[in-house]
Copies of this chain bind each other. A is one copy, B any other.
Amino acid sequence: MTSTSAPAPLTGVIPPLLTPLTADGQLDRPSLERLVTRLLEAGVDGIFALGSSGEIAFFDDAQRAEVLEAVTGTVAGQVPVIAGVIDTQTRRVIQHLRAAERFDLGGYVATAPFYAVTGPEEIDAHFRAVAAAADAPVWAYDIPVCVHAKLSPQHLVALGADGVITGVKDSSGDDVSFRRLAGMNRASGSPLTLLTGHEVVVDGAYLAGAAGSVPGLGNVDPGGYVRMHRAARAGDWEQVRTEQERLAALFEIVFQPVGKTGPAAGVGAFKTALRELGVLSTNVMATPMSPIDDAEVVARIRTILEQTGLLEGARA
């Protein structure tokens, strides 16, 4: 890729798009279209397809392609779409890059290698090889809860300075490291665009230097994140805080499921909320996850939607 073809840096609210499924586990295109339309109408700045919230790890290659085709078709260039090319090691990631080239994508999102343990040397070689094979900017996705390695701020800034990556999606849960990353990035001329993936502390990330957010919860309440982003740009921190606190209260939906963990709880709660809001037809999850079918849990999720002003909005 040449620098002249690089798009303007992608900032703002870029929700990691959920992948709606039908009752028998197939891609639910009508629900996907409703979901995307709702995000666009709320004013999001981009769409991140096939992220962790998009259940990428659960989909085989054909499904991944089907999702990208549907998302890019629905978005139709209204905002940039970036796509996860997440897999264990370099060759497999590049295989996904190749498969994604035919879609209209504004970038790719890749993690460090996983499953097989790798060290700094291999992580560096990995990102350089992936970027060299990509026809659009590459974002580094720092998500130790899945990858079990933390990307160091120094390394990320070095990759940015070398033009290997365009930015970072930080889902590290390590706000101290994020602050250091922001400081080092600034000190190096800001080669990186920094986005946070943590729904309930986006306000602090904005103070630290985030240029935007990639909130899974943004599927449920895109308007809240868009308003928070605009308030942050305007320096209206009381508004930022007010919006963040409401969104943090809304985020409690992910703690309602009993006996579930990981995306079965988190993405499961998002899908259930969106079903209750009339956006998705089902709350079905990819195998081997089962949907939230406990009526009491669903009721608690509805209550939280009401308390945070989402469900009334849906009823209006």
Q: Which residues of A contact B (CB under 8 A)?
A: 52, 55, 57-61, 63, 86-92, 94-95, 113-119, 121-126, 129, 145-148, 173-176, 179-180, 183, 198, 200-201, 203-205, 207-208, 235, 237-238, 240-241, 244-245, 248-249, 252, 259-264, 286-290
Contacts and interface: CB of A to CB of B under 8 A. Distances in A.
A126 B124 CA distance: 33
Contacts of A240: 207
A115 B54 CA distance: 13
A65 B119 CA distance: 28
Contacts of A92: 57-60
Contact of A122 (B116, B119, B205, B288): B288
Given A57-B88, A118-B288, 7 more contacts: A55-B116, A58-B90, A60-B91, A60-B95, A118-B264, A125-B289, A176-B200
A113 B290 CA distance: 14
A55 B90 CA distance: 12
A42 to B, nearest CB: 23
B91 A115 contact: no
A204 B208 CA distance: 8
Nearest to A94: B60
Contact of A119 (B87, B121, B124, B262): B262
A147 B288 contact: no
A195 to B, nearest CB: 16
Given A88-B88, A200-B180, A58 B116 contact: yes
B63 A91 contact: yes
A241 to B, nearest CB: 5
Given A175-B198, A183-B248, A207-B244, A126 B288 contact: yes
Contacts of A86: 115
Given A125-B287, A204-B203, A244-B207, A146 B59 contact: no
A203 B259 CA distance: 35
Given A121-B290, A204-B207, A116 B60 contact: no
Contacts of A173: 174-176
